[in-house]
Amino acid sequence: MGRMCEGRVVAVTGAGRGLGRAHALAFAAEGARVVVNDLGVGLDGAPAADSPARQVVDEIRAAGGDAVAHGADVATGAGAASLVALALETYGRLDTLVNNAGFLRDRMLVNLDEDDWDAVVRVHLKGHFLPLRHAAAHWRAEAKAGRTPVARIVNTSSGAGLLGSLGQGNYSAAKAGIVGLTLVAAAELARYGVQVNAIAPAARTRMTERTFAETMTAPGAGFDAMATENVSPLVVWLGSAASEGVTGRVFEAEGGRITVMEGWRAGPTVDKGARWTPGGAGEAVVKLLGEAGEPGPVYGA
């Protein structure tokens, strides 16, 4: 049986460490040629001395795969454009984009300054939008030229973006924005042969090592439930041609568990057919809330 991504070219952002590294290695193991992007910054976005992207490329090549390193900042227009350009110049095509780059600057809201807000929203949300935009422009041109691609985008949200997380107002807002971006992109790009989905992973990385400090083993399974490698099989499938017809979805992935996340949809409702008074609106809301399900708790609450 052939490998799932044989012949495909996949670009993974933030692929020098953690989840991105696991995704890059998993795609390569399934036959993909991989563009490994990583700016090489620390957990808080400050410059680091090493080149993690090059290290991952070396790992892939040592295992018999094919990869190339990309070290530009994908939260800039030039950096995102160069990511797509490198794939095309090196391999002549781009089939899948996995947006994964990010870092944290956690603060409670009253202590969260503007720079920490801007930095986190920039790397997560803008760092998703710009590579998506440049890849989509390429695929649209291909479709208009009669070469409709079998293209895939996998975005990285978080449980923090779905439920919120104490001390992570900037991160939660950015990750929620990624879900909205995913839904719009799935609807707009379908005509060009592009499917767009998002994952909300839970795994032990540099960003979550304090949360998942201890190794968690699924009962009876004998594996590390918080290993980054557990998330990558879903990402590889979503990034492959095998996922035909799956788009505009958000999946939570943790250990051996995959969950389809169901977003906002209409719950209990009432229509008076006329303007409410403030008191009447309040009475109606209290009644509706009594009929509605309880929301999930904010992480850390």
Confidence bin at 111 (pLDDT 50/70/90): very high
Say if residues 53 and 70 touch (Cβ distance below 8 Å). yes
C-alpha span between 165 and 97 (Å, rounded) = 27
Instruction: Report how far apart, in Å, the C-alpha atoms of 12 and of each of 9, 86, 186 are.
Output: 10, 12, 19
Confidence of residue 214 (pLDDT cuts 50, 70, 90): very low
Res 218: pLDDT? 46
The catalytic site residues sit at 158, 171, 175
Q: How far is CA 87 from CA 10, 33, 70, 194, 276, in A?
A: 8, 9, 9, 17, 57
pLDDT tens profile 30-51: 999 999 999 976 555 454 556 7
Give the mean model confidence (pLDDT) for residues 225-234: 93
Q: What pLDDT is stored for residue 226 in this prediction?
A: 85
Identify the top-confidence range among 33-47, 93-107, 195-209. 93-107
Query: How far, in Å, CA of 11 to CA of 69, rounded?
Result: 10
Q: Which residues pair with 9 in a beta bridge?
A: 33
Look over the chain and give the mean of its residue pLDDT values, rounded to a whole number: 92
Strands (E), 133-255: 151-156, 194-202, 250-254
Q: Find the mean pLDDT for residues 146-163.
A: 97
* pLDDT tens for each residue of 132-150: 999 999 999 999 999 999 9
User: What is the reported pLDDT for 51?
Assistant: 79
pLDDT of 15 over the 90 cut: yes
**Mean of the pLDDT values across residues 177-192?**
98
Distance CA 39, CA 216 (A): 30
The pLDDT-based confidence of 28 (bands split at 50, 70, 90) is very high
Using the predicted structure, report yes or no on whether residue 2 has a pLDDT greater than 80: no
Is the distance from CB of 155 to CB of 101 less than 8 angstroms?
no
CB 196 within 8 A of CB 238: no
For the segment 153-160, the average pLDDT, to the nearest whole number, is 97
Of the pLDDT bands very low, low, confident and very high (cuts 50, 70, 90), residue 206 is low
Domains of the chain: 9-261 (3.40.50.720)
Work out the burial of residue 112: count CB atoms within 10 Å of its CB; fewer than 13 is exposed, 13-18 middle, 19 or more buried.
middle
pLDDT of residue 42: 56
Beta strands in 109-193 (DSSP E): 151-156
Residues 6+ apart with CB under 8 A from 252: 159, 162, 199, 200, 201, 202, 258, 259, 261
